[in-house]
């Protein structure tokens, strides 16, 4: 009876396990986007260092941004996929990972996206590329879908980021 209870508890814990929290490393600037505004916020339920970046949209524009996440859990995990594949996204707005920094304070820098093992309490950076096909407003996000492996079990979660992107209509869109 005790073995069954322990196994059931273990399955429930693994099924609900989400080790990712927003990282503390901040990346500043979107140099390719004119008119971008960046503001720091701290409200109940928001990451402690959330930055909101308002990006004026134009047809056929592309920009990149960076944020960090942290394996806040007590066990190592292997991240096998970041984001949603571009072929599964709407054609008007695509958000894809283009680089990762496996250890934000280790000085290694950004590399090509690949599976990465995150030790407990390890923080990493992610660079995303956003392609906007038309003028948009009222679209925002501050998280990334992540697939990871823990003890041979694959999990899909949405990891909160320390950056929120808000698309706003530029003056050129009328």
Per-residue DSSP letters for 141-159? EEEEEEEEEETTEEEEEEE
Q: Residue 143's pLDDT is what?
A: 93
Q: For residue 116, report the phi and psi dihedrals to the nearest 5 degrees.
A: -140, 135
Alpha-carbon distance of 85 to 65, in angstroms, equals 18
- Burial of residue 28 (CB within 10 Å: 0-12, 13-18, 19+) is exposed
Mean pLDDT by 10 residues, the chain (174 residues): 50 70 82 62 64 89 93 96 91 95 82 95 94 92 95 94 90 74
What is the Cα Rg of the chain in Å?
Answer: 18
Q: Residue 167's pLDDT is what?
A: 93
Q: For residue 122, report the phi and psi dihedrals to the nearest 5 degrees.
A: -90, 140
Candidates 96, 93, 95, 99; CA nearest to 60 is: 93
Vertex 95: Cα angle to 92 and 99 (nearest 5): 150
Do 101 and 143 form a contact (C-beta atoms < 8 A)? no
**pTM summary value:** 0.84
Q: Where are the alpha helices (DSSP H) in the chain?
A: 2-15
Residue the block writes with tokens 């096998």: 80
Q: Residue 31's pLDDT is what?
A: 58
Alpha-carbon distance of 137 to 75, in angstroms, equals 40
């Amino acid at each position: 009876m005790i073995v069954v209870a322990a196994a059931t508890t273990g399955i429930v814990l693994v099924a609900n396990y989400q080790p990712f929290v927003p990282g503390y490393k901040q990346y500043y600037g979107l140099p390719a986007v004119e008119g971008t505004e960046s503001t720091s916020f701290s409200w109940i339920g928001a990451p402690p260092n959330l930055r909101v970046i308002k990006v004026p949209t134009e047809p056929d524009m592309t920009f990149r941004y960076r944020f960090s996440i942290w394996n806040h859990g007590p066990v190592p995990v292997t991240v096998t996929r970041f984001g949603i594949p571009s072929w599964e996204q709407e054609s008007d707005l695509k958000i894809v990972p283009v680089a990762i920094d496996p250890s934000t304070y280790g000085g290694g820098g950004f590399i090509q996206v690949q599976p990465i093992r995150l030790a407990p309490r390890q923080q990493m950076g992610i660079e995303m590329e956003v392609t906007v096909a038309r003028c948009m407003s009222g679209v925002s996000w501050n998280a990334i879908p992540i697939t990871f492996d823990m003890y041979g079990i694959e999990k899909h979660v949405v990891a909160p980021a320390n950056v929120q992107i808000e698309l706003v209509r530029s003056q050129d869109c009328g």
